[in-house]
Structure formats: structure tokens, C-alpha cells
Amino acid sequence: MEYSPLQIARYKYEPKLPAILRKPISSIVTKEGKATAPAVHQDAIKALFPNTYGLPKISFEAGENTEIGTKRNVGVILSGGQAPGGHNVISGLFDAMKAANPENKLIGFKGGPSGILEDDFVEITGEYLDKFRNTGGFDIIGSGRTKLETEEQFSICAQTCRKHDISAIVIIGGDDSNTNAAVLAEYFLRTKAGIQVIGCPKTIDGDLKNESIEISFGFDTATKTYSELIGNIERDANSAKKYWHFIKLMGRSASHITLECALETQPNICLISEEIEKNGTSLSEVVQQIADVVAQRAADGNNFGVILVPEGLVEFIPEVKTLISELNDLLAKEAVAYGTLSDFERQSAFIISHLTAKSANVFSVLPEGIQKQLLMDRDPHGNVQVSRIETDKLLIEMVDKRLSQMKQAGKFVGKFSGLNHFFGYEGRCAFPSNFDADYCYSLGYNAFMLIAGGLSGYLSSVTNLGKPADQWKAGGIPITMMMNMEHRHGELKPVIKKALVELDGAPFTYFKEHRDQWARHTCFTYPGAIQYFGPAEVCDRTTMTLALELKR
């Protein structure tokens, strides 16, 4: 097989590590910090996690580590959606294991958590790993969305580990995956299985973050990839001067991706779901806000522009959020009766007759295409599959209609032609930026150091990320300290709380201070492609979001 020159060059890239992890591996030891506790629901979480609650934060320091050379077999699982850098987490984990003892074995469970349940695996060797180093994707072992959450599943995991003499598992995933990691760690400790569990924070959505998880891996690369594409479209828009581009971006529960891309590219309009929900902005008001900007720019002779829309926007608009909630409940309770209806006309009539009057009215005024998308098959949690709802097309259609009304009233004198785009999969498996290549490698190396320290129920943590890599701080935090209790399927369950865009945070504050200027004037910026070679200020820089957060 022939590889591209860039691919060959990236194979040879040597990721940078925090200074403490550059020392000989036998001269690094764990250091315990203060005991931890979640911000809320302490009693409930303590009752569910008696063995992993209140554990201390961990850092590393120089010292003689006499246990590091103990032979260990470690299992690794990629869980959930892809994110750039997953291969480097595994690379860092592998290299640390081999530095500690060349006889250590890394077992990669294939296809996500189902791999350990089905005992489907591959031993990751140096030769096998070399063609995946510093590359995007999860194809080294594949991923999956099977959840590890039942006693039966935990028992099977223990059996699989005993079969292969595995003493630790590293789960690379997002908030749900690491919640499952915490529950699995608690089970292994309660049953004295002798198996450790360490998590690594992965999600391009950027909603797995706190003071010890400054950024989830993949967010840097994904947003830079999307920003390049947005910049290209902005340049085209400013060249053609005749289209309004509505660009939907990944991020169902939080608008971090959309906000970061706005900071990088300065579009005319950027909708932030969290702000819309806080202000109680209706769908009609969102449409009017967009129409007003289009009209203002048209008055200046600019019949073009760019609008960024977060994927999960519709769930944050109050009346649509209520509608979706009612639909989820209705289609769960009336699944049998609804399942007998074969055509959309009868399905629509059934839905409208069972909704509250307000939600029935909202459903009725939506375009038929959006109505059908709201009634598609639910996700594994029983919820509307928001990524399938073409919010960008919905807004184009409704803005076009509103502008026609404004033109009749003499309030709009320009032209409007809307084009829609969805950037999602383009960024999930992109070649990792230098930042993500370094960060992910450090997370994997760090994960083994936590294993070597005899720890379980911890998340690999690397902080001080606004500084050069040699100044990064390596350590671990108990997963239980990030948890709260939320209603899931009618029951209170422990979950890692999603981090939403903070409307008083530095990134949104900066955006808010500049968006009126960006709206009326053409202030587009063009980030260009991710750079891998050249000055550190170009190649190793992180996101504007992180830079603004760490500056405060």
C-alpha cells in the first residue's frame, strides 16, 4: 500500500509529553492531593460509589517506583463517536507499558464495549500500531455505543479479563462512557475482582470539561477542520456576493463547537443554544433576528452572509423543546397504536390529537419535512435524533417567508438566496493537530501511570494546556467528583454532568462584544488548513476557547 507524503511524515512525528512524564518511567511516582467530592448530590453518589467516592486527586513527582516493572496485561476500549487523536491515546498507553516492561501486553477490544462482552479482540503490537500513530479515526480497533451498565455485563467483563489475565481496562470515551467506567470500577472493587478501570476524556463536542479536564480530546482538531471549511465558504460568499450560507455544526447538547468556530471565523450570525434557552427566545423570534440582519446587510448592498447553527438548536427553543418532550413521551406510551399507522397523513393527525394544544399548534406550523424528521425512529435513549433534523433548512425556509412579508411591508429591499451545509463527519476523523497528537499521547501515557499507581475509577487528566507541552501537568481525578444525579428513563441515575457554554464565561463574553459588528459588516477571517510544520505559534496553538478561558 502506498501512503501520502503527509501520512508518512505524520507516522514519524514524535508527540511531546509533560516534563514529568519525560523522566525514566521507573523514577515517576504518584502523589495524592486533597480528597474530592461532587458539587451536588454528595449523599446519593456516595451511597452508589462507596469504594470510589471521595478519592484524592493525583499528580506525579520524581521518586523511585519499584512496582513499575510488574508485568501487566491491559485492555483498551474505544467507546462512542470518533474523535481525532484516539489512536495517539492508544500509542501513549502502549509506549508507557513497553517502557515499564517489554513483556506487557495491550489487548484492544474491537467494536467498542461489545468487544469485551463478546471476547473479540486483537493484541496491539508495535508493528500493528505503527501505521496508526498520529492519524485520525478509530479504525485501529473500531468503536461502538454499547453501554456497560448491568451486573450481568460487568460479570462478563470480569470473566473476559480473567481469561486473558488482564488486570486493568482503559475506556476512551465521553461523559456516558466514563460514567459507565466509574460504575464498572465500583463493581470490580466491590467484588474484589482485582481489575482496575481508567477513563480518558473524549468528545469533539467539548462538553466533557471542568477545572481538571480543560478540554476533551478531538475538540481542537475538529473545530479547526470545520473553521477551515467555514472560512472557505466565507471567502466564496464574499466573492460571489449572492448567497446566505446556513451552516449546521455538530454539538447536540452544547454549542462549544459553534462558538469556537465563530471565534475563529467571525460569521455574520452565530446562534448559541444556551443563550436562546436562557432568554426564552421563540422560534419566531430567532427567525426575525436573522431576517433583521439580512435586511440590514441588504440595505448596505450586501445580499450575502454566513450563519452558524448548532446541531441541537431546536431542543433549546422553548416551544420546540416542549414539543419534542411531549413527542418522546407520546411515542413511547402509544408505540403500538402509532405503529399501526402506515401513512404520514394519519400519523400526523394522530400526533396532533394527542398533543397539548400549544404543542399541536407548534407541530402544525412546521414544514412537513421537519414534521417527518421529528417522527423518525428514536435513538437508543428514546429521544428524537436531533442530528437528522435539518434545522438549517428549516431556518432558510422560515427566514425566506419572513423576508417576503417584510418586503411587502417595505422593510426589505434586497435579495435572499439561502444555501445549507452540515459539517460533522468531516471533523471526527481528521488528521490530529499537533495539539491533539501531543495531548492524546500524554493522556494515554498518563493512563498507564495511573494504572501503575494501583488506581481505579480515575480519569486521565492533563492540565495547564495553554502553556507549551513541557509545562503541562499530568495526573488523575476521581470520576465520581464530576457526577450528579439526573433523570434518565424515569429514574434518577448518576451521570457526568455535561458542560454547557457558560454565558458569563470569557469565550462567550468575547463573542458577545463583537457579534454586532460582525453582523452588519463583513469581518470574515480565514483560518486555513491545520498546519503541522512551522513556527510553534502557528502549529501548536490551541483553540481560542481554551486560550480565552485560561487567560481569565
Minimal CA–CA distance to 17: which of 456, 550, 440? 440
| 316, three cell numbers | 433549546
* CA of residue 278 relative to chain centroid, distance: 22
DSSP E strands: which ranges in 415-504? 418-423, 458-463, 473-478, 483-488, 491-496
* Distance between CA atoms of residues 533 and 405, nearest Å: 52
Is residue 421 within 8 A of residue 248, CB to CB? The reply is yes
| 440, three cell numbers | 492524546
Is residue 476 within 8 A of residue 458, CB to CB? The reply is yes
φ, ψ dihedrals at 102, nearest 5°: -60, -20
Length of the chain: 552
Edge-first strand order for the sheet with 244-249 is: 269-270, 305-310, 244-249, 418-423
* Distance between CA atoms of residues 319 and 341, nearest Å: 26
Nearby residues of 400 by Cβ (< 8 Å), 6 or more positions away? 416, 418
Among candidate residues 95, 176, 205, 392, the one labeled active-site is 205
Alpha helices in 375-485 (DSSP H): 391-408, 425-428, 434-452
Minimal CA–CA distance to 500: which of 247, 212, 206? 206
| 207, three cell numbers | 462538553
- Catalytic residue status for 205: yes
Burial class (CB in 10 A: 0-12, 13-18, 19+), 217: buried
| 498, three cell numbers | 455535561
Nearby residues of 201 by Cβ (< 8 Å), 6 or more positions away? 174, 178, 208, 209, 213, 216, 217, 443, 459, 460, 461
| Catalytic center residues | 205
